[in-house]
Structure 1
């Protein structure tokens, strides 16, 4: 069924007044609208620095940060997917911007467009997951309304699925492959059943005419042995080059595709081996194409070398191999953080899928228990849809648990199988029948009050909704939410400042700020003067210093050094500069105390960006209220009214609550050393 038929079917379903479907359509609209709001939440630096930062920086010729993964000497990230997914559409936007700016006075190369345009592309790709889950349900006659509802209401689809993570692409590819394999499985099972049935009829037929009739029926059966092998091979290769961890997600699904029909009279190991051979051979052209694109991008191979036919094995780079070499080294992965082996199973799955994640883990434990007790009748068949989905969930989880560094987003490709298996429990509850073999009052009480359909169906869906709403707000708007606003602020400031002024921004206890959103011309690009023909580069006028989770005392020492260097430039070269510091408001008290050790440094708060939460600097429950920390250029010493507090008064409780709320922000401070000579020349804010 094509996409148009899929949409037509959904419209027909809507006319039947299905409440779950209407809720799903509402959630789809919300998913799209959240792109344009936009969501200020910043989930992880990789959503910018592994795709958007590089592609927009190169296409629009603006300042950007090129992280170590894209080092030409040892690149571990393939540029095939980002190039065709982002660079080509951005090239079209760049072309349109010339005309929209001239005729409509609308600049399509704005910071806002740099943020939302890649998210629009990712949002469109996210509907591959919706389509795949619908098609699987249709093929196996499953209820798709509640499964689409669970998918649409998941915070994974409302936040992660619209961000430029390689994991998001990995999730879409996994979902599509899961649909292809599931479809091939049921198609093969149907054809094999009919073929074996006709073979038995053929053997029992007594007349020649009846045998001829049965033989003709057998000839009309469709082929099934090698269905979709070329499509699967292409998707798998793209998945591996997008993110080599796709190997552990794709392996169980490819295995189930190879295993179709094994054990029957018409499929044997010869068919298994031929399928494998065809799959490998058909993947070679895509592999060669991806290697060629990466080799050209990282300049291992140049057009001049191709023209002169001076090509050796050293002219090619295989980025997935470099990725595996790096990540299989425990010492290198430890630099990104060491996590316990149980983190994915016991923490990340419940966080991503909340109650459905807990149900999935419980079901898996039950399967292990049944296997160890020899109750093989309780296990799913090896070639069933339940077996496929179970393998697609826990094979990659177990494999990824062996790696030191574990993040929740690594697991989002298992979204489709988890929701396909367990989302009906959102409306049916945990158990429709008594699940225990033993019968006693305690087990009856647990079943009647928590596990039965009547008891559990009341609260499961509510828990699902509440948890996903909270996580959507947290990851979509609060987590590191001030970073994007900070970048937009300096984007506007850079266009308004004098051309002779340099801006220095120091950040601490926040994520890396994407320079592409600041949207300033690149200082590394070699330009040509149209009149003289001389080569030149633009002078750099924006400097960013990022110090991670640096302690306040060490941070202030860094600030003092940068100030002293700029003061020397100011004296000798008459260079005008302005320095800013951006830290979470939860550090306002510590910052105030720390600055008292530097009486020659003056600072004032310029702006606070709300909401913002840095897990590196969590709000303090009993911290001093920001209003009690009034600091300006004339009064360095903060004041705090701490005498005669009534801890049980309504005003004190309200003030403490206000203090916590005010700490959910990102404060921007202007810093300077004021001297007599400088005070007369420094422009006013």
Structure 2
């Protein structure tokens, strides 16, 4: 990979009166330029969709239950039900990563609720504060991605840089996934950081070798360069440790950058004894930082899941290593069967198309075109690999030829290990957006196809952004806000402050509702003593809904308790007539649009035999009922 960037780019007129070029930050220098207009629009949309008009779409329950839910539960001591990933016996997820990401924003909310005497933290703040962390990381990733563009394509001008950034800025992965609290989003940021650090580290080492021929120059600069090299080496170890403990699938993405680093460094071992010593120090810093970071995370997790340092007395049985537990859990096919089993081709054919649409198809067509002549491909494949991983030419043209296969490997090779897992979801491929755009967009520019493809790319991502950002399960979060803010009164219609109160929510044929969003919580001494119980029936049969309502009114007193049922509009006939004599179902509000891609078609089939006629719009509504028991 070429690491030297040109000092003058076409279209950059940022010279001062003395003719010296003024370096400015990426956002100040380019965000207002016409060449970056679509990227600028994307940044504005990202910020607005996070802070002002927050996205109501619900991508996957892991967005909440493998992130903010755990931290809110700990800080506010709400005693939520944990998912199986956080079972103390064999936890699969590291809480150290969760506190690293969401500990500060949730603690800040706790502090604000105390000093401002909030009876309950506003719903909107609980939703956006954790998302702000991911938003800030995505903006930092924009800077790294732009630098990677300049590294990979240093002979491009500002307009060409803008084309690549425009593709990235309007991608629905950037607009939606990079503003959500998914572990896959954090994995993507770590993947980009690893690629960038590997490139900087190799560049620093090559600079040392180049300057070593001039002893005077070497003596002046070597200390500074060594410090830079050691720092980047330490960060490589840090990124790898964080990546593995965030998601144990991270090695599938880190494989190519690490192999690339080794293939560029190992052949230089014979350069000099001084370089061999430096190489040994670099390896020690990478491994040392990786081990140190891993040990700190393991220590934090072990203390957390064992409620203190008692695990030290029995390290063999009580030491918590979450990635190891994750691997053991996923080896058992019975465990994966609970989450869904998929064929190995699903990632490459279906999931990648959902995420990247026309650009993924362009990569497939490019690959088919270049491997159609199998004889020629067989003769040149070894040469291409050696050229990419071992040779670093000095001219721009040769660098452009060698960097393209490397970017292609960054995109394609992770499909192989990821596809070996029987359980596959589209979000697992989110980190691949960076090598995909770095590789295919310049190819489209050389073929003069980028203008046509950009229009398709814009239409595709606008559609998918609306689907995942606002429509998919889009009625659930507004409904939770309604329940969160719903007034609580006692049987004598006086506000409840000290009595025991409960809000009981039954959700049916929706995604699992996050407990921290529907529960009133605050650290203030003026906090209302209100307990919220969430019963998620998932896709259960209607008999289970009937039995659940019966059980609630049998177990809980009707005094000071409120019972809510949340279900899709076309499922409301499950509130069958015989219950109307015993219970009253008062419709509080309908929430739309609510696109249920999991149960919608199934529900329509069931309701063909119902007497009530449904319109197509009824399928996109979510109904919230309050249930009361009729007096007999």
Whether TM-score is above 0.5 comes out as yes
User: 1:324 maps to which residue?
Assistant: 327
User: 2:306 maps to which residue?
Assistant: 299
* SS in structure 2 of the partner of residue 144 of structure 1: helix
User: 1:543 maps to which residue?
Assistant: 533
Paired with 1:218 and 1:281, the residues of 2 have a C-alpha distance of: 27
Q: 1:411 aligns with which of 429, 433, 440?
A: 429
Residues 310-343 of structure 1 show CA distances to partners (whole Å, capped at 9, x for unaligned) of 5744452111111111122222112210111011
User: 1:149 maps to which residue?
Assistant: 166
Q: 2:617 aligns with which of 661, 679, 682?
A: 661
The answer to whether the 8 A contact 2:197-2:232 is kept is yes
* SS in structure 2 of the partner of residue 545 of structure 1: strand
Q: 2:241 aligns with which of 237, 244, 247?
A: 237
Q: 1:375 aligns with which of 371, 380, 393?
A: 380
More displaced stretch, 246-255 vs 28-37: 246-255
User: 1:58 maps to which residue?
Assistant: 74
Paired with 2:552 and 2:296, the residues of 1 have a C-alpha distance of: 49
Paired with 1:57 and 1:562, the residues of 2 have a C-alpha distance of: 25
Rg larger in 1 or in 2? 1
Shift of 1:254: 1.6
| Structure of higher RCO (CA pairs closer than 8 Å, 6+ residues apart) | 2
User: 1:49 maps to which residue?
Assistant: 65
For the pair 1:591 / 2:583, whether they are aligned, the reply is no
For the pair 1:281 / 2:249, whether they are aligned, the reply is no
Shift of 1:584: 1.3
* SS in structure 2 of the partner of residue 55 of structure 1: helix
More displaced stretch, 42-51 vs 388-397: 388-397
The answer to whether the 8 A contact 1:64-1:514 is kept is no
Shift of 1:60: 2.5
Using a 3 Å threshold, how does the CA distance of structure 1 residues 246 and 497 change in structure 2: closer, same or farther?
Answer: farther
The answer to whether the 8 A contact 1:56-1:114 is kept is no
Q: 2:587 aligns with which of 605, 612, 630?
A: 605
Paired with 1:396 and 1:482, the residues of 2 have a C-alpha distance of: 35
Q: 2:439 aligns with which of 421, 425, 448?
A: 421
Paired with 2:38 and 2:533, the residues of 1 have a C-alpha distance of: 48
Query: TM-score normalized by structure 1?
Result: 0.75
User: 1:19 maps to which residue?
Assistant: 34
The answer to whether the 8 A contact 1:581-1:669 is kept is yes
Q: How does 1:366-515 map to 2 (within 5 A)?
A: 372-376=377-381, 381-383=388-390, 384-424=402-442, 428=445, 432=447, 453=448, 456-493=449-486, 495-496=488-489, 499=496, 502-515=502-515
* SS in structure 1 of the partner of residue 625 of structure 2: strand
Q: How does 1:623-642 map to 2 (within 5 A)?
A: none
User: 1:437 maps to which residue?
Assistant: none
Equivalences, count = 577
User: 1:114 maps to which residue?
Assistant: 126
User: 1:253 maps to which residue?
Assistant: 257
Paired with 1:92 and 1:574, the residues of 2 have a C-alpha distance of: 36
Shift of 1:173: 0.7
Residues 391-435 of structure 1 show CA distances to partners (whole Å, capped at 9, x for unaligned) of 322222110000010011111111111111122356x3xx63xxx
The answer to whether the 8 A contact 1:586-1:617 is kept is no
Shift of 1:12: 3.3
> Structure 1 unaligned runs (5+)?
199-213, 433-452, 530-537, 630-636, 641-655, 677-685
User: 1:534 maps to which residue?
Assistant: none
Residues 112-144 of structure 1 show CA distances to partners (whole Å, capped at 9, x for unaligned) of 111000011110011232111111223341443
User: 1:169 maps to which residue?
Assistant: 186
Shift of 1:153: 0.5
Shift of 1:259: 1.9
* SS in structure 1 of the partner of residue 58 of structure 2: coil
Paired with 1:217 and 1:502, the residues of 2 have a C-alpha distance of: 74
More displaced stretch, 388-397 vs 597-606: 597-606
User: 2:550 maps to which residue?
Assistant: 564
The answer to whether the 8 A contact 1:139-1:186 is kept is no
Paired with 2:23 and 2:477, the residues of 1 have a C-alpha distance of: 37
**CA root-mean-square deviation:** 3.7
More displaced stretch, 381-390 vs 406-415: 381-390
Paired with 2:321 and 2:606, the residues of 1 have a C-alpha distance of: 54
Shift of 1:180: 1.2
